[in-house]
Amino acid sequence: MLDDTISQQAAALRRGDYSANELVTAYLTRIVAKNGTLNAYLTVTEQAALDGARAADAALADGSAGPLTGIPIAHKDIFCTDGVRTSCASRMLDNFIAPYDATVVMRLAAAGAVMLGKTNMDEFAMGSSNETSFYGPVRNPWDSQRVPGGSSGGSAAAVAAGLCAAATGTDTGGSIRQPAALTGICGLKPTYGRVSRYGMIAFASSLDQGGPMARSAQDLALLLQAMAGFDPRDSTSIEREVPDYTAALGGSLQGLRIGLPREYFDAGLDPAVGDAVRAGLAELERFGATLVDISLPHTHLSVPAYYVVAPAEASSNLARYDGVRYGYRCDNPADLQDLYQRSRSEGFGAEVKRRILIGTYVLSAGYYDAYYLKAQRVRRLIRNDFLEAFGQVDVIAGPTVPGPAFRLGERNNDPVAMYLSDIYTLAVNLAGLPALSVPCGLVQGLPVGLQLIGRDFDEASLLNVAHRYQQVTDWHLRRPPEA
């Protein structure tokens, strides 16, 4: 039952093939067996999960079950969970117990999902490998000497290794899609504003977006159905009707125009990854889709623009962690200046401090116009590229990652090489568009992903394309050898 998709588990629970208690217990047992190696979970809420399973079984028995009743999920440790530690994988919040649930957490619980615990991540979601966590790196279940990707690497590894049926993640520059690709699962970054950010601890407020991670596109549709929708508590939430994502699955691809940006198939792409992506696109052609060559000419500026905008917003958002109100506080400060200085220098890790310094610099009076304002103008050009492309095509496709998962520690001393791991995902966040990654092959025995990018609020089309692809391929059914 642990190898089943969410839709299969939901059907089995309703038929009575097994109980929610049996399903949750099986996952908890697997977590005990595997998490010591993978380090995917930071907190396991065993008793709450068992209580939730009993409530789910009662709902299944009396006919009041929701669409996700009894489905065991995990939450990235960036979502606030009432009464449960929410650390953002940082020493700064190591002792922080959230006093409320994030909207995403509440909505999934209302749909019947059972929380198993909180997953590891890059500290404050800053990283591309899940090596910046205060609690140590997450390991890729396909090869424990390799990274799972970041920043949602704990969620990705947990789903891939069968430590939960699905998980939440956040995507600021590819942090759902990139780890999904590197661990052989599916991950969706919704349109900015589609999923509430209330209770999701901020990294870069104009880029952050929560989304689902699971084994199939159909599972993503079920999860997004529960997560999406307007939230008056989130000023960035968009008041727009949420379609029935599952009803759109199975639609015809005849005549669908799929754009292939030439910038996504350049010299920086591993040739074997390119071959896997092209093989995936050939399957879509067999459904009647048409491949169209397009250009996104400002793609090469997405990395520098992102690494001005994101650190600037991080610098502002993380200013609240000062050792006074909550979070880490240094011992025996000599004065207020010492309290601020040591609490922040001891509480934050190296990558977070690097980005705070960069962000503070680009926002300073002498450099705001030269860096931050210019980056925002480039951001507009990047979005315009996409809007122009969508005048010619319906969906844009390409690789999610340039290559398969790299070895732990391989890029720790080369931040630029680390940042380039997200070269194909960053522009989507800068433009605010929806995108997802689905497994499309193995390179050196490691999974890689096909990325699909859509128009604003057109997640349904992306999910349909991904679902049709998965009807004729089995990459999403492959399981890691170490799982």
CA distances from 190 to 159, 171, 287, 429 (A): 19, 9, 25, 10
151 is catalytic: yes
Name residues whose C-beta falls within 8 Å of residue 265's C-beta, 6 or more positions apart in sequence: 274, 398, 399
Among 133, 175, 196, 343, which one carries the catalytic annotation? Answer: 175
Name residues whose C-beta falls within 8 Å of residue 20's C-beta, 6 or more positions apart in sequence: 13, 52, 53, 54, 56, 57, 60, 69, 70, 114
Q: Report the alpha-carbon distance of residue 420 to residue 165 in Å, rounded.
A: 30
Sign of CA dihedral 343, 349, 352, 357: positive
Among 34, 76, 118, 189, which one carries the catalytic annotation? Answer: 76
Alpha carbon 223 to its chain centroid, in Å, reads 13
76 is catalytic: yes
How does DSSP classify residue 229? S
Hey, what amino acid is at 167? A
User: Which residue in 129, 181, 186, 174 sits closest to 154, CA to CA?
Assistant: 129
175 is catalytic: yes
Strands 435-443 vs 186-189: parallel, antiparallel or unpaired: antiparallel
Q: Report the alpha-carbon distance of residue 266 to residue 7 in Å, rounded.
A: 38
CB 235 within 8 A of CB 267: no
Residue positions annotated with a catalytic role: 76, 151, 175
